[in-house]
């Protein structure tokens, strides 16, 4: 990553995601959010580094922890939050919620409630590009936990034999819900799985947005030049619980503190400052700007009306309105 060119943009986006995600717990406590929401605080560099390497016609398939993927891909924070609140202005009219945010115009094939599902979907998006000779790339985001679904093995093999332009991005944050990687992997270096299927694979420091960007850029270049898939495994960590009500008894607080010391936002900001590309004042202004942007998003989401009752029955398919619930 050329820090002069991209550094501030990356910082701005990471600050936005951090501010957005940190407010969710309060919204859940306020009962503005139902069900489960999974924040990406601490993992901002992965979504941002990958997204900056993509072009406007590319697409992504996300997972349950997907707000960051959407925002980094250019999703409007207000409409994203409105969806998380289940409001009419949400991207999916309030019908999807946090785990089902799809945005056709941005090439977002959805956040996903089924762990691993996005891996197959992104492979299919790359297949569409390949079948129709479009020079597009697809990204699958999944976690360390998701990589234990069989669909990863099957998709990597398929993508490798057909040289599909797909990038498998594993966000290894060391836990799948309450399960530490040490307990779920006999071989925890997930990047070893790619070569077994002929998929070039790379480990990257997921707390370093520049390193993530560089790895993603190389993968995009390979994909666009008919070189086929890449597996990127980003070493990262979630600073907050798996979801809002998580006791976190499965991990030690000192471990969380240690990782907080590797904060990807501080890291980039310090690098930029050291390189003379960012003053303290500018940094503070950027933080304030992120707060304002999320304030605006929050205002919009709070004001947004509840969905029209009739919408419960629309969009199912192209046939008749839904039947049932005779009253």
Summarize as ranges the residues that interact with ligand TPP (CB under 6 A): 38, 64-65, 113-115, 142-146, 171, 173, 175-177, 242
> Residue 98 Cβ, how far from ligand TPP at the closest point, in Å?
12
- When binding is defined by CB under 8 A, the residue of 179, 271, 273, 287 that contacts other proteins is 179
Closest among 204, 69, 243, 82 to 141, alpha carbons compared: 69
Examine residue 94 and tell whether it contacts other proteins (CB under 8 A). Answer: yes
Structure tokens at 251: 């991990």
CA dist 87 → 98, 168, 256 (Å): 12, 32, 34
Structure tokens at 250: 């499965």
Examine residue 99 and tell whether it contacts other proteins (CB under 8 A). Answer: yes
Examine residue 149 and tell whether it contacts other proteins (CB under 8 A). Answer: yes
94 binds, among ligand TPP, Mg ion, other proteins, none (CB under 5 to 8 A by kind): other proteins
CB 11 within 8 A of CB 272: yes
> Which residue stretch of 13-21, 86-94, 219-227, 268-276 sits at the interface with other proteins (rule: CB under 8 A)?
86-94
CB 10 within 8 A of CB 213: yes
Neighbours of 275 (CB within 10 A): 11
Interface positions, 301-320, toward other proteins (CB under 8 A):
306-307, 309, 311-313, 316
Nearer to Mg ion, 148 or 304 (CB): 148
- When binding is defined by CB under 8 A, the residue of 4, 183, 260, 292 that contacts other proteins is 183
> Residue 265 Cβ, how far from other proteins at the closest point, in Å?
29
Alpha helices in 117-225 (DSSP H): 117-131, 150-161, 181-184, 193-196, 209-224
Closest among 201, 175, 165 to 59, alpha carbons compared: 165
Separation between Cα atoms, residue 270 and residue 278, nearest integer Å: 8
Separation between Cα atoms, residue 253 and residue 250, nearest integer Å: 10
> Residue 118 Cβ, how far from ligand TPP at the closest point, in Å?
10
Q: Where along the sequence are the contacts to other proteins (CB under 8 A)?
A: 34-36, 86-87, 94-100, 112-116, 145-146, 148-150, 176-179, 183-185, 247, 249-250, 306-307, 309, 311-313, 316, 322-327
């Amino acid at each position: 990553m050329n820090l002069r060119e991209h550094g501030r943009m990356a910082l701005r986006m990471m600050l936005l995601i951090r501010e957005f995600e940190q407010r969710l717990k309060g919204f859940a406590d306020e009962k503005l959010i139902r069900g489960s929401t999974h924040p990406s605080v601490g993992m901002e560099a992965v979504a941002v580094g990958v997204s900056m390497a993509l072009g406007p016609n590319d697409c992504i398939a996300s997972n349950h922890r997907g707000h960051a993927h959407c925002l980094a891909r250019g999703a409007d924070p207000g409409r994203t939050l409105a969806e998380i609140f289940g409001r009419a202005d949400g991207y999916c009219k309030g019908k999807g919620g946090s785990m089902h945010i799809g945005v056709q115009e941005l090439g977002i094939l959805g956040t996903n409630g089924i762990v691993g599902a996005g891996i197959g979907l992104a492979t299919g998006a790359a297949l569409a590009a390949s079948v129709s000779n479009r020079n597009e790339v697809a990204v699958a985001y999944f976690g360390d936990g998701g990589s234990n679904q069989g669909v990863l093995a099957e998709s990597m093999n398929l993508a490798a034999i057909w040289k599909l332009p797909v990038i498998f991005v594993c966000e290894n944050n060391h836990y799948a819900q309450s399960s530490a990687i040490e307990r779920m992997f006999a071989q925890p270096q997930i990047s070893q799985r790619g070569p077994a299927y002929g998929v070039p694979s790379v480990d990257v420091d997921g707390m370093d947005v520049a390193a993530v960007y560089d790895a993603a850029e190389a993968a995009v270049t390979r994909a666009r030049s008919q070189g086929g898939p890449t597996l990127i495994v980003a070493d990262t960590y979630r600073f907050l619980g798996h979801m809002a009500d998580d006791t976190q008894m499965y991990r030690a607080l000192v471990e969380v503190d240690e990782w907080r010391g590797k904060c990807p936002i501080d890291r980039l900001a310090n690098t930029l400052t050291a390189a003379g590309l960012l003053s303290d004042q500018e940094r503070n202004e950027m933080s304030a700007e992120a707060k304002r942007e999320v304030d605006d998003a929050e205002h919009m989401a709070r004001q947004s009306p509840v969905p029209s009752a009739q919408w419960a029955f629309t969009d199912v398919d192209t046939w008749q309105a839904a039947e049932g619930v005779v009253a």
